[in-house]
Structure 1
Amino acid sequence: METARIWPIALLIGSNVFMTFAWYGHLKHKGAALWAVIAVSWLIALPEYMLAVPANRMGSNVYSAAQLKGMQEVITLTIFAIFSVTYLGQRITLNHGIGFALIAAGAFFLFRTN
């Protein structure tokens, strides 16, 4: 696979790691003040944007916008599942797996040629 196709994927993976922590990391710290978790989440989200924007800009040279969005959703769900189990200590149930698989199946059709 050529570099032009790999870089957007790598940047989206990095972006989603930051965003997952920004959106869900505070759930492990429910005693913290809401204003504090919002401020920390914004600080974590800044590097996310610094990765996501170039990922989509570069990615648009080799992928359609729909393909980039579908790819991002699959990456998000994968990272979220890992995060949920390893960081939050929650388990992924069969229903979660089925729901994630259906979303991934939708993304599959975005890459399918007619």
Structure 2
Amino acid sequence: MTTLILLTLSNIFMTTAWYWHLKGGPEIANARPLAMVILISWLIAGIEYSLAVPANRIGYMNGWSAGQLKIAQEAIALTVFGIFMVVVLGEALSWRHLAAFACIMAAVGFLFVGK
């Protein structure tokens, strides 16, 4: 459970680091100086790393394989991004987003079956 909580928190920070500067549309995003965006994003990503590294170590020490850790992270990332895309960026979800999510969840199932 600790692994999943830390991975979720790390993905919230990473999604924010990668996409916060897009809020407001292309004109507003383009008006932000790129060097400033990179610096702020790296500062946010530093928090993400401080959560992701222990999450992976804890998961691995508790019997998760590297593949299981990665696919769990991808499923969490897709979920977090979907929420961020709708809530922060104001974009709509479509059937394609849901289909992609279903494929990732199927991959999670394949790696965790029998574990």
With structure 1 as the length reference, what TM-score do the two structures score?
0.92
Which residue of the other structure, out of 16, 27, 31, is the alignment partner of 2:11?
A: 16
Task: Quote the Cα distance in structure 2 between the aligned partners of 1:23 and 1:96.
Answer: 19
Equivalent residue number for residue 81 of structure 1: 82
Give 1:96 deviation, angstroms: 1.3
Q: Structure 1 residue 7 and structure 2 residue 22: aligned?
A: no
Task: Quote the Cα distance in structure 1 between the aligned partners of 2:20 and 2:61.
Answer: 33
Task: Quote the Cα distance in structure 1 between the aligned partners of 2:109 and 2:7.
Answer: 17
Give 1:101 deviation, angstroms: 1.1
Alignment of 1:36-75 (within 5 A): 36-62=36-62, 63-75=64-76
Give 1:108 deviation, angstroms: 1.1
Moved over 4 A (4+): none
Equivalent residue number for residue 102 of structure 1: 103
Equivalent residue letter for 2:74: E
Task: Quote the Cα distance in structure 2 between the aligned partners of 1:100 and 1:27.
Answer: 23
Q: How many residues align?
A: 109
Alignment of 1:24-39 (within 5 A): 24-28=19-23, 29-30=28-29, 31-39=31-39
Q: Structure 1 regions of 5+ residues with no counterpart? A: 1-5
Task: Quote the Cα distance in structure 1 between the aligned partners of 2:34 and 2:105.
Answer: 33
Q: Structure 2 regions of 5+ residues with no counterpart? A: none
Task: Quote the Cα distance in structure 2 between the aligned partners of 1:93 and 1:45.
Answer: 28
**SS in structure 1 of the partner of residue 47 of structure 2:** helix
